[in-house]
Structure 1
Amino acid sequence: MAERIRWGIAGTGVIAAAFAEDLRLLDDAELVAVGSRSQQSADRFGDAHDVARRHVGYDALAADPEVDAIYVAVPHTGHEEVTLTALAAGKAVLCEKPFAINAAQTERMVAAARAAGVFLMEAMWVRFLPHQIGLRELVAAGRIGEIRSLIVDRGEVLSADPAHRVLDPALGGGALLDLGIYPVSFASMFLGTPDRIAAFATEAATGVDAQTSAVFGYQSGAQALISTALDARTANTASITGTKGRIDIVDWADGRLPAKLTLLDGTTQNLEFPREGKGLRLQAAEVGRCLRAGEKESPVMPLDETLSIMRTLDLIREQIGLRYPGE
């Protein structure tokens, strides 16, 4: 693998632009190409982010010999097709969340990557932020003992336009896949796959979920409560309670504000972690590390866990009655 990872981006939306900006913070990575459905969109993105190689269509991006890795940032419903195209061309893939629309698509993507021996990872960017690494280390060290409960929410005011992708069933819209995947992944990071799920939702006018809450039960006896909304800005906090203490995270997805460790004896400690840029560069850095080490999957965001999370999302959607066209 070359000293510098040469990136291509499939898609030209907001998240693609943020990723392009953050790549500039990495000394061993560069953005060399972009792919879009139209030349106008590719040129606009290329001009804004100084990208010389501009492709119409994702097949052309995948075939570009100057590209080592592709960041898939198209709408949810396009993730499987674009990822499979890139993998078939031998390109490493970082696929934006949600990884796919459902577990069946995820299974095909994972199988294709493993059969081809090509790197693939879900772009769960928050998992690579310093505060989430620090929280995992604290829990693994036994500072709060055995986890008994986890509470986490993610809610933002996104769009009231029924034509917007977040409300469009044909584009995999809804709070759960767009925002709820964050707390589901957060719970998975600490507790694994739930054994029992009870979920409830409030439906938007377009038929997707505007708000969803779920309770997870685990064989260990632990429970997790997750909630998400796309029409209200929630507290976006998290709490992890164990047999020896508790960690409260004020802004668990962003990590710019301190977390707090409270032990049973009343001892408290503020936990502060460094932060630079928008945070998206860290997942790109992990892709680069894995490629140089010859690893086909990331141990931080392994494909088996991505598949498990998608199966959990499927079970929640089944309970709340949310189906997408073609399923």
Structure 2
Amino acid sequence: MLAAVDGFGRQGKREQTVARWGVVATGGIAARFTQDVQALDGSEVVAVASRGEASAKTFADRFGIPRAYGSWAGLFADPEVDVVYVATPHSAHRAAAGAALEAGKPVLCEKPFTLNSREAEELVALARERGLFLMEAMWTYCNPVVRRLVELVRDGAIGELRSIQADFGAEGPFAPDHRMRAPELGGGALLDLGVYPVSFAQLLLGEPARIQADAQLSPEGVDVNTGVLLGWENGAVAVLTCGLDGSSGTRATVTGTHGRIDVPEGFFSPDSFVLHRRGVDAPETVRVHSPLHGMQHEAAEVAACLAAGRTESSLVPLSGTLAVLRTLDAVRERVGVRYPQDEAR
């Protein structure tokens, strides 16, 4: 059985709104975001910044962006930039997003939002002090298929939640000088990949009451292969894995007392899922029609929030971002991964 619903669930389709973006950094994730935004009606990338002018200029030429800056400050001072997208390595998220907020710019900051919960709390406090919009670029939460999954779970389609399983493994190997193995750059599987399974579990169950974890560490001291077991007061559990030494199925399963939901490969940005209801012989494949794709969903959410004068997204609330980082902090503490930035300032 195949079911299809509107791409924006019960809320219906929203009008697209104008946003002029400034992109900070010129790597692969910045390129993907720029391509998606340029294909989104009503939004455009008007500036890019890098710590080197040549890199910014090359990126601007590649995507037809009118202005390129060899410093973050230049972009943050640009009056034509409505909102900043931070796509730096996550070790620089706190500095880049903080500087943008200090300059009066709303911010969409890539995941993981920061290296630890202390840095995240600092950014949230700054945004609230300045009355500015701030959101983690957790595109999973904005994906219409995931939104429909959440609706069904909350409506009791599979009964009371009992367990969640999710994995994200990359094939590797990563050379010793790669950023994924550098503690000072927030290396390891957990922050790059594990943030997705943890965020998925907490989207459905909230912040866990109990956290257990085990990991294999690299010679540099970052996690290479990590398993996480989360527990909630209602008895629900989540079994989550991430790793840098083997490509996994990147699938998720949500099990309840009356059924389950299977999310296929690429659970963090799915185009469908399979709903198994107790007492129903045929499983139901659920797809969601949407005029948007990829990172357009999160960009549209930011534009809609800015147009409405909101400083926070209801789809990606800051409280949820902080809760996920507290869990990631606890996992790192249990497996013995520490970053230089963890030291209190």
SS of residue matched to 1:211: strand
2:329 maps to 1:314: yes
Q: Distance in 2 between matches of 1:275 and 1:289?
A: 16
Aligned residues: 325
Q: How does 1:123-272 map to 2 (within 5 A)?
A: 123-251=137-265, 252-256=267-271, 258-267=272-281, 268-272=283-287
Per-residue deviation, 1:73: 0.5
Q: Distance in 1 between matches of 2:268 and 2:119?
A: 26
Residues 158, 166 of structure 1: 8 Å contact kept: no
What is the CA deviation profile of residues 250-300 of structure 1, one whole-angstrom value per residue up to 9, with x for unaligned ones? Answer: 1212313x4211122243211223467761111010000000111100001
2:288 maps to 1:273: yes
Q: Distance in 2 between matches of 1:164 and 1:14?
A: 15
Q: Which residue of the other structure, out of 84, 87, 94, is the alignment partner of 1:80?
A: 94
SS of residue matched to 2:248: coil
* Corresponding residue of 2:297: 282
What is the CA deviation profile of residues 277-325 of structure 1, one whole-angstrom value per residue up to 9, with x for unaligned ones? Answer: 7611110100000001111000011001101110000000000000012
What is the CA deviation profile of residues 109-161 of structure 1, one whole-angstrom value per residue up to 9, with x for unaligned ones? Answer: 00000000000000011221121011011112210111011111111224521
Please report the TM-score for the alignment, with normalisation by the length of structure 1. 0.96
* Corresponding residue of 2:57: 43
Unaligned runs of 5+ in 1: none
Q: Which residue of the other structure, out of 29, 33, 49, is the alignment partner of 1:15?
A: 29
What is the CA deviation profile of residues 142-198 of structure 1, one whole-angstrom value per residue up to 9, with x for unaligned ones? Answer: 101110111111112245212111111111010000000000000010000000011
* Corresponding residue of 1:324: 339
Higher relative contact order (CA 8 A, sep 6+): 2
Report % sequence identity. 45
Unaligned runs of 5+ in 2: 1-15
What is the CA deviation profile of residues 221-275 of structure 1, one whole-angstrom value per residue up to 9, with x for unaligned ones? Answer: 111111111221111111111111111111212313x421112224321122346
CA-based RMSD of the aligned residues comes to: 1.5
Residue type of the alignment partner of 2:229: V
Q: How does 1:289-308 map to 2 (within 5 A)?
A: 289-308=304-323
Q: Which residue of the other structure, out of 33, 41, 46, is the alignment partner of 1:32?
A: 46
Q: Distance in 1 between matches of 2:235 and 2:191?
A: 27
Q: Distance in 2 between matches of 1:285 and 1:159?
A: 36
Residues 162, 236 of structure 2: 8 Å contact kept: yes
Residues 22, 277 of structure 1: 8 Å contact kept: no
SS of residue matched to 1:41: helix
Q: Distance in 2 between matches of 1:326 and 1:135?
A: 36
Residue type of the alignment partner of 2:332: R
Per-residue deviation, 1:207: 1.7
SS of residue matched to 1:34: strand
